Amino acid sequence: MDNVRLFLWAGLGLLLWLTLQAWQRDYATAPPPTPTAATATQSLPAQATPADLPDLPDALPAATPADADAPPTVAVAQSSQMIEVRTDVLDLRIDLTGGDIRGASLPLYPRAKDRPDDPVVLLSENPAELKIFRTGLRNAAGGPEATHLAKFSAARKSFALGDGQDELVVPLRWEQDGVTVEKIYRFRRGRYDIEMEQRLSNQSDATYGAVPYIQIQSLYSPPERSMFDVDSYSFNGPVVYDGEAYEKLDVEDLADEPFQQTISNGWLAAIEHHFLAAAVPGGEGASQYTANFDGNNFVASAIAAELTQVAPGSQATFNSKLFVGPKLQEQLEETAEGLKLTVDYGALTLLAQPLFWILDKVYGVVGNWGWTIIIVTFLIKLVFYKLTETSGRSMAKMRKLQPRLKALQERYKDDREAMSKNLMDLYKKEKVNPAAGCLPMLVQIPFFIAFYWVLLESVEMRQAPFMLWITDLSVRDPLFILPLLMGGAMWFQQKLNPAPPDPIQAKVMMFLPIMFTGMFAFFPAGLVLYWLTNSVLSMLQQWKINRVVEAQG
């Protein structure tokens, strides 16, 4: 306990190690209309279904179809005809087979900053990066169905959000045997959430039992882990929200134990580091959620747990929402409850969310994420100034006692018991507590780790410029200047604190700035800027405290 700093550095090293372990563990609407006499809900009978359609929920025991044990196929229906949809933030392709979105790119988010014409692709039929939505209406009686295999029609081959327009409506149509389904997409300016409405009109002679479903089918291809690529440690795969809790699904476990749960007010999504494709079933009723994996692709589904009966001459409307885009927390929160949890701050979410709110507000004033990081780091240090002053004063007094401590250690080097007694007497006489700085520093650590995760996970910092040579805060400093400055600040900070009495400890402390410089050299520049700012502010605070303590004699 005669050197608090070594304890704190060891604690920080442990936290960094735990963070790395967490990386390796976790990564690489409007409701439907009220039923009337013509529209009602009831329990579903069991039905045999094609292997690539979601099973109707089972309410009653039924005979097992002969092919029920066959593994579900996840083959993608070949595109027959695509229509193009363009908004100010999305470029989409909708397949008239199924009327589903099977292609989506984000023109405002290039894959790399030096390739502005190569946008991030979130949905694609390309087998090498497969990810698509599949939606539709099942028919409980086994009649014609407007599923993701049905053929829809559209009035035009392309739709675009024009200047002065705030909303773009894309209607599709399917009709068979007197049953008509209009699948209507609504896109809004600046928004990545998409409203999807399925209007069923029954002009046949029989009651039509409809069950809406929504699926995400995706290739499972986690990125190869690399300490030089933060994206590679982010979770990549399916997630489910059950109305209360958010759960990441282990894709490889799904092959042996498929996921199945009845959920109300939930959603499902396929996420990656900064982006996601999510599906939010509409209505207040429960849905049966399932997820499975065939070794290449996973399919996450939600199908209504109750049947909607549409009498002849009547209509029914089924609403749901899709989200295709970056993890912008405000839009996620407005789309569905709990959807912003896909911005994964881990166990420190309760601290990280307020920190992001502060960052966002400061950015709204200064308009530069680099200066925002500096200002918020300063604000955090200001909040904890009085707390850290206790630690700083302890360090300053210990530094002032260094000559006397060394004299005692030299005098009693062969008598450890006597040395300990005399050291405690000296601390008591001079009113110095070697451990006084521990608690204030430990209280701050969760806040700094939460800030670290905010900078790492928030898409708002992706490809954000700072100034001079730092043109992208989400990648490493290309000239390694920030890590070197950070290492220098840590070295100077050490010089302001008492040296460890033990020679081995002293050598370890001298090596720490070099080790941290090497570690942070490949971290995103925004994280290094945060740590550099924190180190400089800590150094200035300790320098001031040292002067005050020396002046007090």
Q: What is the DSSP string of 45-113?
A: PP----TTSPPPPP-S--PPPTTTTSPPP-PPPPPS-EEEEE-SS-EEEEETBTTEEEEEEEEEEESST
**Range from 211-220, 404-413, 501-510 carrying the lowest mean pLDDT:** 501-510
Q: Is the predicted pLDDT of residue 39 greater than 80, yes or no?
A: no
Q: Is the predicted pLDDT of residue 107 greater than 50, yes or no?
A: yes
* Cβ neighbour number for residue 360 with a 10 Å cutoff: 14
Strands (DSSP E) found in 189-296: 193-202, 208-219, 237-241, 246-248, 259-263, 267-271, 275-281, 287-293
Residue 301's H or E segment, with its range, is strand 297-304
Question: Which pLDDT score, from 0 to 100, does residue 1 have?
Answer: 38
Long-range contacts of 240-247 (CB under 8 A, 24+ apart): 240/266, 240/267, 240/268, 240/269, 240/289, 240/291, 240/300, 241/266, 241/267, 241/268, 241/336, 241/337, 241/338, 241/339, 241/341, 242/266, 242/289, 243/337, 243/338, 246/338, 246/341, 246/342
The whole-angstrom separation of Cα 109 and Cα 274 is 10
Digit-coded pLDDT (tens) for 336-367: 999 999 988 877 888 888 889 999 999 999 99
- Determine the number of helices (DSSP H) and then strands (DSSP E) in the chain: 12, 20
Q: What is the DSSP string of 380-436?
A: HHHHTHHHHHHHHHHHHHHHHTHHHHHHHHHHTTT-HHHHHHHHHHHHHHTT--TTT
> What's the mean pLDDT in 468-478?
86
Digit-coded pLDDT (tens) for 242-275: 988 889 998 888 888 999 999 999 999 999 889 9
pTM equals: 0.77
The whole-angstrom separation of Cα 23 and Cα 156 is 46
* Cβ neighbour number for residue 243 with a 10 Å cutoff: 12
**Range from 231-240, 314-323, 477-486 carrying the lowest mean pLDDT:** 231-240
Percent with pLDDT over 90 in the chain: 37
Q: Which of these, 211, 199, 197, lies nearest to 319 by C-alpha position?
A: 197
Question: How would you class 40 by CB atoms within 10 Å of its CB: exposed for 0-12, middle for 13-18, buried for 19 or more?
Answer: middle
Which two structure tokens, joined as six digits, stand for 99?
């009327």
The whole-angstrom separation of Cα 371 and Cα 464 is 11
List helix spans (H) across 458-502.
481-495
CA distances for 438 relative to 2, 7, 490, 491, angstroms: 12, 8, 18, 20
Per this entry, what is the length of the chain?
553
CB 517 within 8 A of CB 487: yes
> What's the mean pLDDT in 441-452?
76
Question: How would you class 242 by CB atoms within 10 Å of its CB: exposed for 0-12, middle for 13-18, buried for 19 or more?
Answer: middle
The whole-angstrom separation of Cα 171 and Cα 99 is 9
Q: Cα–Cα–Cα angle for 40, 45, 49, nearest 5°? A: 115
Which two structure tokens, joined as six digits, stand for 178?
């007197």
Digit-coded pLDDT (tens) for 280-333: 998 778 899 999 998 889 999 999 988 899 999 999 999 999 999 999 999 999
Residue 74 backbone phi and psi in degrees, to 5: -125, 25
* Domains of the chain, each with CATH number or no CATH: 4-20+356-551 (no CATH), 37-48+80-221+234-335 (2.70.98.90)
Contacts with 122 (C-beta within 8 Å, 6 or more apart), sequence order:
104, 105, 106, 131, 275, 276, 277, 324, 325
The whole-angstrom separation of Cα 40 and Cα 204 is 17
CB 476 within 8 A of CB 523: yes
The whole-angstrom separation of Cα 519 and Cα 486 is 11
The whole-angstrom separation of Cα 215 and Cα 218 is 10
pLDDT band at 230 (very low <50, low <70, confident <90, very high): low
The whole-angstrom separation of Cα 162 and Cα 66 is 53
